[in-house]
Structure 1
Amino acid sequence: MRTARLRTVHPVLWAGWAALAAGAVLCVIGWYGVSGERYAERQLPYLASCTIPGAALIVAGAVLLAHGRGALAAARVEELYGLLVTEPVEEGGSGQAVTSPLAVSGELLMVPGGTLWHRADCPLVAGKAEAVPVDAKVLAGGELGPCPICEPSEETD
């Protein structure tokens, strides 16, 4: 279940690798041409036509690779977040999948030493033996923040 964004990242990575390869080839050709000439005025055309554009292509390829890998990582995080927060629920006869939140419980839990409070059916605390009910004093003191996944409210307790 890959998103459309994951499919659009791969061309950026391929373009980065192609630019790196082309830049390396141009740099090698420029070096070979410069090394065969004795006089500087005969070396300049190789520098101008091969080595400098080759170096620019290497830099462009590195930037494309960095951007592509960052976008790929961001797309994977978004996909995982979507899988964690929502669960597909089949609707009657339309064949369309409707998403509903995973956590709807009214009971609030916290993990000792943690920084968040959760609904009891939140995927982050569900099944954890160390999760304990949230004390009203802790909520009032502001020591814990609400979980961004299950989005509990103080009124649910």
Structure 2
Amino acid sequence: MPWALVAIGAALLFVGYWGASDSTDPGRQLPYLASGTAPGLSLVLCGAALLIRTEHEKDRAEVRHLQARFDALLGWLESGPTAEPSGPPPSEVPLGKDLDAPAGSVGPR
């Protein structure tokens, strides 16, 4: 959806510029600027804001996932080296799709 807004806005910017560039008379250029360029710029800015929001949501989800893994690691470390861990060891906590690592490569040895 955000990419569609950016694409439509870019097309409106181009049409507004193309229409206004045919004349040097400001009276003939103003309708193109008002009906194409201003709404096009608005759509591009709204699309960019939605893209930033989407990326921010993805980042927050990844931080929550890493926090859960960190909490599991801390719980495992706090339970002591001879005690049985209360939850899964840090190496068995599922990784995010961008952070795949071999099992057993994460955590103390």
1:39 equivalent among 20, 25, 30: 25
CA displacement at 1:51 relative to structure 2: 0.2
Kindly indicate whether residue 80 of structure 2 is the aligned counterpart of residue 107 of structure 1.
Answer: yes
**1:126 alignment partner in structure 2:** 108
Provide structure 1 residue ranges, at least 5 long, that are not aligned to the other structure.
Answer: 1-14, 87-100, 109-118, 128-157
Q: Equivalent residue of 2:28, what SS?
A: helix
Counterpart-to-counterpart distance in 2, 1:125 and 1:80: 13
TM-score using structure 1 length: 0.47
2:35 equivalent among 28, 38, 49: 49
Change (3 A) 1:54 1:107: same
CA displacement at 1:16 relative to structure 2: 1.6
CA displacement at 1:35 relative to structure 2: 0.6
Counterpart-to-counterpart distance in 2, 1:54 and 1:105: 57
Change (3 A) 1:43 1:106: closer
Which structure has the higher relative contact order (CA within 8 Å, separation 6+)?
A: 2
Flag the structure with higher strand content: 1
**2:2 alignment partner in structure 1:** 16
% same residue? 33
Flag the structure with higher helix content: 2
Q: Equivalent residue of 2:76, what SS?
A: coil
Map 1:137-148 onto structure 2 (within 5 A): none
Kindly indicate whether residue 62 of structure 2 is the aligned counterpart of residue 76 of structure 1.
Answer: yes
Cα RMSD after superposing both structures: 3.1
Structure number, greater radius of gyration: 1
Change (3 A) 1:105 1:58: closer
TM-score using structure 2 length: 0.65
Q: Equivalent residue of 1:37, what SS?
A: coil
Counterpart-to-counterpart distance in 2, 1:105 and 1:22: 55
Counterpart-to-counterpart distance in 2, 1:43 and 1:31: 9
CA displacement at 1:80 relative to structure 2: 3.8
Deviations 1:1-24 (A, max 9, x none): xxxxxxxxxxxxxx2211111110
